[in-house]
Chains A and B, each alone.
Chain A
Amino acid sequence: MKRRMLKWIRNLALLAYAAFALFPLLWMLIISFKHDREMYHTIFLFSPTLENYRVLFEKGDYIGYFLNNLWVSAGAVILSIVVGVPAAYALARFKFRGRESIAFTFLSFRFAPEIMVILPLFLIYQRFGLYDTYLGIIWVYQLLTLPLIIWVLRGYFEEIPPEIEYAARLDGYSWFRVFLKTLVPLIKPGLVASALLSFIFAWNSFTFPLLLAGQNVVTTTVAALQYLSSDTVHYGQMAAAVTISILPEVLLALFIQKHLVRGLSFGAVKG
């Protein structure tokens, strides 16, 4: 009896949380289909319209912002993987002086709020010609994506017994092949999860592209500001823009879900 009560309470709590978490998204979706004149009525009955979406795509520049965001986010994640996977391996496997300090330094990228480091970064970017370039934004996104990938994958590499590597070497594979054929499949769940999370961080980043990019590299997050004009706020268009901009994240998460399985490394060694 008591257990059933507890179960009920737990489910109710979960339901309440789900509503709390999902309602804003639902509200955003509803707004994106409303006319501006119905915007301030908190009623669920309205005449739906695609007007907001039409305006969004008619001007055409939104697609450009969207692609910009895709390039810089994907570029940042790919660069982080290329750099971070070997770094994570080295931090997990090799003993060298200052290993923990280096690992901690990577983590410390995330300590300071973005707004605190933005001014020096802005000056540096101006000086080096990185301001308002794709490379510059991808570069600064490493602060968001690299620590995550390194720290998640380091744990995965540490879990793989070195004997598996040795065994593969003795089977006649070079180190690089062992890395690609044996180690990468074993860290894949971690790689997929951390890459997805990094992508979301990069995709949703606002401060960096707002202040370190100008007209060339406008991302969707920054573009959303355009709907705040001096006299009015175009909530409908804003909601439509945001709705479209979360689509890649949702699609990626759905596609990647089946790779997010843990426990692949069990059974490698004595149990």
Chain B
Amino acid sequence: MGDLWIRGVSKRFDRVLALDDVDLQVNNREFFVLFGPTGAGKTTLLNVIAGIHIPDRGHVYLNGRPVDHLEPNERDVAMVFENYALYPHLNVFENIASPLYSPRYRQPKEVVRQEVMRIARLLDIDALLERFPAELSNGQRQRVALGRALIRRPEVFLMDEPLVHLDAKLRHQMRAELKEIQSQSLDTTTIYVTHDYREALSLGDRIAVISRGRIEQVGTPEEVYHRPASEFVAKAFGDPEMNVVEGELIEDSGRMYLDLFGQPRHFPVPGDLRNILDHHSSRAVRVGFRSKQIRFYPEDPEGKWLAGRVYSFEPLGATAILIVKVGDHSFRLRVSSEQSWEIDQPIHLAFDMDRAFFFSASTGKLLARSEERKGDVPWPS
């Protein structure tokens, strides 16, 4: 039930600039994902919103009113911590009930009991209410931490990598449950921090990609995946990460080609991009191909494709990661594990130039991408 604006927030810890002039606008009832690598400043930003850290510059507004002067207990935000931060001397019931016992959110005893039971049933921990945190598994602790936040009706929920310490199976299950809870009973603004791109794409209404304290891009999952603002964003989403190579734009008999590995005829630039690329100051660009945009063949009778050699083949169940070396450059491809490849086997690559991403070689910003075709959504939804 809250609009959250962050305006020009910077925060420095000793010599590390954790947040660098961050601007964000999170809408009411939005599930907003903060995505970025470890150390990008995600947790710092959450702590600034919660009032735990005071920003060096900038302001935080909740429903249009500045909250900079409010203490954490006065801000009406609830937070799930990465390490759960349960109270070890209180049992599960008391942990979950803690907000409702506090001077600020106090409720009558009977209401507290009912609410704790409701939340505990929702999270399937109603059998554990008498236990202490030390007697719980990590998955159960995580649910208790979630329950302590969910029992309130705050303006904003802050969730700091709540699933990161769970094992893969449980994480998957909890992700589905979280989505369920979010759509059914959690019509509150939620800011969710993660460094798992699948989690970001599957949970977020919008995603803010953050790197070294700066916001790289804010957009819907489709936008950040299909129109990444920069090479950094493009590489962050997808596994194996996008293959990016450096090349030069050249003109040949009225058409534009990309000179990669000295073989420009394999890389015609799509017509609709020409205009944009013509206006780019430099001829040097970086071009990205997702794994799906590179087809590969063991034979090349007509000499149409780019020749390379298999560097490694790593089966992962149904799929496998194939690394192909062309010259000094390696391409990572997700392939079916049914066909196996020998090391050093010749392989021929065909690049789908209509779906390539063109980035500036100097700034890494996206220059152009041909009209994207939907349907290559990489995540289950």
Contacts from A to B (Cβ < 8 Å): 161, 163-164, 166-175, 177, 182, 185-186, 263-271
Which residues of chain A are near B296, meaning CB under 8 Å?
none
Which residues of chain B are near A177, meaning CB under 8 Å?
102-103
Separation in Å of the B139 CB from the closest CB of chain A? Answer: 11
With an 8 Å Cβ cutoff, the count of chain B residues facing the other chain is: 35
Please measure, in the bound complex, the distance between the C-alpha atom of A171 and the C-alpha atom of B97, giving whole angstroms: 9
Separation in Å of the A209 CB from the closest CB of chain B? Answer: 38
- Interchain CB contact under 8 A, B84 and A270: yes
Q: Pick from A169, A172, A182: contact of B87, CB below 8 A.
A: A182
Q: Is B138 an interface position by the 8 A CB rule?
A: yes
Please measure, in the bound complex, the distance between the C-alpha atom of A264 and the C-alpha atom of B88, giving whole angstroms: 7
Which residues of chain A are near B51, meaning CB under 8 Å?
169
Q: Is B83 an interface position by the 8 A CB rule?
A: yes
Residue interface bits B64-94, CB-to-A below 8 A is 1, else 0: 0000000111010111011111111100000
Question: Given A267-B134, A270-B138, does the pair A168, B98 have CB atoms closer than 8 Å?
Answer: yes
Q: Is B59 an interface position by the 8 A CB rule?
A: no
Which residues of chain A are near B72, meaning CB under 8 Å?
166, 169-170
- Interchain CB contact under 8 A, A170 and B88: no
Q: Of B50, B78, B85, B98, which is in contact with the most chain A CB atoms at under 10 Å from its CB?
A: B85
10 smallest beta-carbon distances between A and B, as pairs: A267-B134, A172-B102, A172-B104, A163-B85, A267-B133, A269-B83, A169-B72, A268-B88, A167-B85, A171-B99
Separation in Å of the A61 CB from the closest CB of chain B? Answer: 46
Q: Pick from B79, B89, B134, B165: contact of A170, CB below 8 A.
A: B79
Which residues of chain B are near A185, meaning CB under 8 Å?
89
Q: Is B136 an interface position by the 8 A CB rule?
A: yes
Interface SS of chain B: loop
Within 8 A of A (CB), among B294-311: none
- Interchain CB contact under 8 A, B88 and A172: no
Which residues of chain A are near B75, meaning CB under 8 Å?
170
Q: Of B82, B89, B135, B141, which is in contact with the most chain A CB atoms at under 10 Å from its CB?
A: B89
Which residues of chain A are near B52, meaning CB under 8 Å?
166, 169
- Interchain CB contact under 8 A, A171 and B98: yes
Q: Is B148 an interface position by the 8 A CB rule?
A: yes
- Interchain CB contact under 8 A, B99 and A169: no
Please measure, in the bound complex, the distance between the C-alpha atom of A267 and the C-alpha atom of B82, giving whole angstroms: 14
Question: Given A171-B99, A172-B105, A270-B165, does the pair A161, B85 have CB atoms closer than 8 Å?
Answer: yes
Which residues of chain A are near B77, meaning CB under 8 Å?
170
Please measure, in the bound complex, the distance between the C-alpha atom of A166 and the C-alpha atom of B134, giving whole angstroms: 20
